[in-house]
Amino acid sequence: MLAAKISRRTFLKASAAAGALATLGSGFTVLPKVRPVEAATEEKVVPSICEMCGVKCGILVRVREGRVVKIEGNPKDPQANGRLCARGNAGMKTLYDPDRLKSPLKRTGEGQFQPITWEEAFKEIGEKLKELRHRYGPQSLVWLAHPELIAPWEKHFMAAFGSPNYTGHAPTCYSSRNVAFEQMYGGVPGTDYANVRYYIALGRNLTGGIKNPDIQKIVAAKEKGAKLVAVDPRLSEFAFFADEWIPIRPGTDLALILAMIHVIINENLYDAAFVAERTVGFEELKAGVTTYTPEWAAQITGIEASTITRLARELAAAKPAAVVDPGWHAVTGSQYFNSLQTARAVAALNALLGNLGAKGGLTFPPKIKLGDPSPLMGPKPQAINAPRWDGAGAGKWALIKAHGMIQLFPQRVKENDPYPIKAVIINHLNPVRSCPDSQAFIEALKKLELVVAIDIQMNDTAYYAHYILPESTYLERYDPIMTVGNKVILRQPAVPPLFDTKGGEEIIAGLAEACGLGEYFRFTLEHYNNALLAPLGLTQEKLAQEGVAEVLAEKPDYTKLNTPSGKIELACPAFVKVGSTLTPAWEPPKVQPKEDNFRFIQGHVPVHTHTTTDNNAYLMALMPENELWIHPSRAAKLGIKSGDMVEVASEVGKVRVKARVTEGIHPEAVFLAHGFGCLVPVKRLAYNRGANDSMLIPIMAAPISGAAAQCETLVTVRKVG
C-alpha cells in the first residue's frame, strides 16, 4: 500500500545521493535508502529553508570540508517535520549544476553573452533606467516575479522608482480561488488534512502538486480511515492514491458542486446552526440552485446522478470533518473560464458543512505580530498616480489588485497600451515557459529597450535579456525571515557562494543605488530581519542557531471574518458589482472540443518544479521528459501507439512529443506535464527534452479573476513518426 510505503523512514532516508531509483506504482517516486552519512569531526549542520519549490520546508544541510553532502528535513520545522520530497533531497544538484550562472552577463547577440563585473552591470542598468524614467515616466518599468521571501524588497524598489507595476504569477496559478475566498471568507483558508474524515479533491493533486506538509498529513488521515475522493479527468497521482476516482469531463466541476449543494440543501443535510450564525445569504443560495439537480449535472459532467447524490450524502454525513479542497492551481485556481464560479461554489459548499474552524475542516493560520521595518527603509516613497499596466484593481478588474494579469504582458508591450512599457526586471520567474504563448512572450522581450533577468540559471526568459544578474542559490544566501503557524524560520547560507553571485537583497540595493535611489536602501538584510524579529525578543543571530523558533501567535477569530458582514458571504454583492451573479451559478467552460480535436490539459509532476528543476541531474534521472497522454479510443482512430512521436497543434503553436496511450485520461482531453521542452541550449540536460506546453496556449484572461485559463485550449494531434 502506498500509504505504508511513504513512511517517515523512507522520506528521511531518501537521499539525492542515490543512483538507483524506486518508482511506486502511482508514479509517485521516492529515492531508495542509502548509507547514512557518517559523522565526521569537521561536519557542520546548518538549519535553513528549502527553495526547490515555493513551499519552503525547513532543512538541515550537512556540510563537510566546505561541501554540501546531504540535505535533510528539519524535524523542528512544522512543514518538513523531518522529511523532504524528492526535489528537496535533490537540492545539491542545483547548487553544483555545472550549467549555473557564474557571473553577471551582458548580451552581445542572439544567444551570445559576455561576462561583466557587478559594478559594470549596475552602472549600465542604472543609467538606462534613469534615461527611460526621464523619457517615458517611471511606469514604463515593470517588475515581474514569482513573489518569494524577498518580495517586500522588490516592492520597495518599485515604490521608490515610482512605478505601480510590480506583478506576480498569480493568474497562471491561483487567482480564481483567491478572489472567491477573499470575497466570501475574507481570506483563503487551508485544510486540516491530518484530521479530515471525508475529503474531495477537484483536481487538487496532493501527491503530484506536492506540498510536503499536506502530503504527510493526508497520508496520516488515510491511515486513520478517512475517505479520499479524487475528481480528475486523469488518473493523477492522487487519483491513484485515493479511495475513489471520479473521471469527470474536464471543465465541468462547477456543475458537480452546484448539484451537490442542491442535494445537501434539499435533503436538509447542512449544518443549520452554523449557516444561521456564521453565514449570510442562505436563502439566495437555496433559490439559486433549484434547477441544478444531479440529473442536470450528470449530463454535463458525465458522472451518474446517483454517484453525485451519494457523494453529497457521504460528504454531509462526515461534517464538520469533511472538506471539498479549496484547491490550488487546476480547477479552482486558474485553468478554466469558470474557475472563479467553481471556487465560489466550493466555498459555499464548505460553508454548508460548517467546517470553518472545525477539527478536520477549513482553517486560517494563526498570526504572528512582527515588527515594522519601515523606519529603516528611507524616506516614504511618493504616492503613485499612474494606473497599473495590466489594468488590475480598476473597473471590471476591481477584485484583482493583488493578483494582476501577467499573461497580458506581450499584448500590452506590443500595443503600447495603456502607455509605453520600455523596461522589465524579471526575478525568479520564467514567463517564456510559465505564461501562455511562449513565442508571443519572446517577441515582447525583443521589443523592449531593457530586459534584466535575475535568476540562478539561464532560463528561457533570461536568454532574451540584455543583462543577467545571477543570484546566489538558497544554499548560499540569507533571505528575509518567514513565518509558518507559530514558528519563525530563517534561511541562511550553508556554504559561501561558489561563484560571482549575490543575494537578492544586494542585487536590489545595488540596482537602487545605481539609479539614484540609494537613500531607500541604507540598511542591510540583517537590520531588516532584526526589525521584524524585535517584538519576539529574537535577532537573526539568535534564530540562526536552530533556524526555527516557536513564538506566540494569535489564534484566528472565526466569528469575525474579514468580509463586509463579518460572516461567510454565500450571497456576495461584491461579485454583482463587477458584473457577475450574487450566488454561484453555472457557466460553461469557454471551449468545447469536437470529434476531431481535444481539450489540452496540463499539470505538475511529483519530481519536478515547473521549469526550475529541468537541469537538475538527479530529478532528470527520475523523469527526463514528458509524454502526451491520450485515450486508447481516440489514439486508435488516429493510428497512434505509445511511444509514437505526435505533433500537437493549437491556434498559436505546435510541438512534437512522444505519445502515451492510456485509459487514465478522459477521451475528450489530452494531458501534458508542465515544465519540459527547455528552449535554451546552455542547459545541457534540459534542452529540448519533451515538449513545452506553453507554446500551445493562447493568451486569455477569464472574466473577473483575470486567470490565464490554460486548459481552455483546443488542440489537434497527428502521428509524425
Residues near Mo ion (CB under 5 A): 173, 329
List the interface residues with ligand MGD, window 453-472 (CB under 6 A): 454-457, 459, 471
The binder of ligand MGD chosen from 16, 53, 257, 275 (CB under 6 A): 53
Query: Shortest Cβ distance from residue 621 to ligand MGD (Å)?
Result: 16
Q: Contact 688/380 with Cβ under 8 angstroms? A: no
Contact of residue 231 among Mo ion, ligand MGD, ligand SF4, none (CB under 5-8 Å per partner type): ligand MGD
Task: Give the CB-nearest residue to ligand MGD.
Answer: 209
Residue nearest to ligand SF4 (CB): 88
- Give 329 or 660: the residue with its C-beta nearer to Mo ion: 329
Q: Which of 16, 18, 46, 52 binds ligand SF4 (CB under 6 A)?
A: 52
Letters for 202-241 (x = contact with ligand SF4 by CB under 6 A, - = none) are --------xxx-----------------------------
- Are the C-beta atoms of residues 481 and 490 closer than 8 Å to each other? yes
- Smallest gap from Cβ 697 to ligand SF4, in A, equals 25
Residue with smaller CB distance to ligand SF4, 474 or 575: 474
**Exposed, middle or buried, 224 (CB in 10 Å: 0-12/13-18/19+)?**
exposed
Taking CB under 6 A as the criterion, the residue among 49, 423, 425, 711 binding ligand MGD is: 711
CB of 278 to ligand MGD, least distance (A): 27
Q: Are strands 548-550 and 487-489 parallel, antiparallel or unpaired?
A: antiparallel
**What's the min distance (Å) between Cβ of 170 and Mo ion?**
9
**Region binding ligand SF4 by CB under 6 A among candidate stretches 54-62, 102-110, 468-476, 614-622:** 54-62
- Residue 408's alpha-carbon distances to 141, 163, 384, 682, in angstroms, are 15, 18, 22, 28
Q: What is the DSSP string of 349-394?
A: HHHHTT-BTSTTSEEPPPB------GGGS-SPPPP--SPPTT-TTS
Which amino acid does the sequence have at 231? V
Residue 653 binding: pick among ligand MGD, ligand SF4, Mo ion, none (C-beta 5-8 Å cut-off by kind): none
- Cβ proximity of 301 and 251 under 8 Å: no
Query: How far from 608 is each of 461, 508, 611, 694, CA to CA, in Å?
Result: 19, 28, 8, 16
- Give Cα 498 to chain centroid, integer Å: 29
The answer to whether residue 50 forms part of the interface with ligand SF4 (CB under 6 A) is: yes
**Smallest distance, Å, CB 565 to ligand MGD?**
30
Selected binder of ligand MGD within 203, 288, 503, 677 (CB under 6 A):
203
Residue 70 φ/ψ, nearest 5 degrees: -165, 145
Min. distance of Cβ 497 from ligand MGD in angstroms? Answer: 12
Q: Shortest approach of ligand SF4 to residue 235 CB, angstroms?
A: 23
What does 674 bind: Mo ion, ligand MGD, ligand SF4, none (CB cut-off 5 to 8 Å by kind)? ligand MGD
CB-based burial of residue 418 (10 Å sphere; 0-12 exposed, 13-18 middle, 19+ buried)? middle
212 binds, among ligand MGD, ligand SF4, Mo ion, none (CB under 5 to 8 A by kind): ligand SF4
Q: Measured between alpha carbons, how far is 451 from 474 in angstroms, rounded to an integer?
A: 24
Kindly write down the DSSP assignment for every residue of 634-674, as one continuous string: HHHHHT--TT-EEEEE-SS-EEEEEEEE-TTB-TTEEEEES
Task: Say if CB 232 and CB 355 are below 8 A apart.
Answer: no
Q: Smallest Cα–Cα separation from 185: which of 562, 578, 450, 463?
A: 562
Q: Which stretch binds ligand MGD (CB under 6 A): 37-45, 323-331, 510-518, 631-639?
A: 323-331
Q: How far is the CB of 705 from ligand MGD (least distance, A)?
A: 14
What's the CA gap between 673 and 608, in Å, rounded?
10
- The residue among 333 and 361 lying less far from ligand SF4, judged by its C-beta, is 333
Window 410 to 439, contacts with ligand MGD (CB under 6 A): 427-431, 433-434
Closer residue to ligand MGD (CB): 282 or 521: 521
Contact call for residue 84 and ligand SF4 (CB under 6 A): yes
Question: Under the criterion CB under 6 A, does residue 95 sit at the interface with ligand SF4?
Answer: no
Q: Is 328 in the site for ligand MGD (CB under 6 A)?
A: yes
Give the shortest CB-97-to-ligand MGD separation in angstroms.
10
The Cα–Cα gap between 548 and 487 comes to 7
Among 323, 349, 538, 601, binds ligand MGD (CB under 6 A): 601
**Least CB distance from residue 79 to ligand SF4, whole Å?**
6
Residue 437's Cβ-count burial label (10 Å; 0-12, 13-18, 19+) is: buried
Q: How many CB atoms lie within 10 A of CB 395?
A: 10
Contact between residue 177 and residue 326 where contact means Cβ atoms under 8 Å apart: yes
Stretch that binds ligand MGD, among 350-358, 536-544, 609-617, 643-651 (CB under 6 A): 609-617
Distance CA 129, CA 157 (A): 12
Among 13, 56, 217, 319, binds ligand SF4 (CB under 6 A): 56
How many angstroms separate the CA atoms of 176 and 179, rounded? 5
Closest contact distance (angstroms) between CB of 93 and ligand SF4 is 13
Distance, in Å, from the CA atom of 10 to the CA atom of 215, rounded to the nearest integer, reads 14
DSSP codes joined into one string, 24-90: -TTS-EEPPB-PPPPP-TT-EEEEEE--SSTT--EEEEEEETTEEEEEEE-TTSTTTTT---HHHHT
- State the binding partner of 57 from ligand MGD, ligand SF4, Mo ion, none, CB within 5 to 8 A by kind: ligand SF4
Which one-letter DSSP state was computed for residue 687?
B
Q: What are the phi and psi torsion angles at 91 (to 5°)? A: -55, -30
Q: Which is nearer to ligand SF4, 208 or 589 (CB)?
A: 208
Regarding 137 and contact with ligand MGD (CB under 6 A), the answer is no
Using the rule CB under 6 A, is 18 a contact of ligand MGD?
Answer: no
Q: Is 88 near ligand SF4 (CB under 6 A)?
A: yes
d(CA 413, CA 419): 9
Do the Cβ atoms of 612 and 169 come closer than 8 Å? no
Q: Which listed option, Mo ion, ligand MGD, ligand SF4, none, makes contact with residue 50 (CB within 5 to 8 Å by class)? A: ligand SF4
Return the number of other C-beta atoms located less than 10 Å from residue 167's C-beta: 27
By a kind-dependent CB cut-off of 5 to 8 A, residue 52 interacts, out of ligand MGD, ligand SF4, Mo ion, none, with ligand SF4
Q: Cell 528561457: give the residue.
A: 460
Taking CB under 6 A as the rule, does residue 604 contact ligand SF4?
Answer: no
Q: Which does 177 bind (CB under 5 to 8 A by kind): Mo ion, ligand MGD, ligand SF4, none?
A: none
Partner in contact with 159, chosen from Mo ion, ligand MGD, ligand SF4, none, beta carbon below 5 to 8 Å by kind: none
Applying CB under 6 A, which residues contact ligand MGD? 51, 53-54, 146, 169, 172-173, 202-205, 208-211, 231-234, 236, 248, 250-251, 253, 328-331, 333, 335, 427-431, 433-434, 454-457, 459, 471, 473-474, 601-604, 606, 608-612, 671, 674, 693-694, 697, 710-711
Interacting residues with ligand SF4 (CB under 6 A): 50, 52-53, 55-57, 84-85, 87-88, 210-212
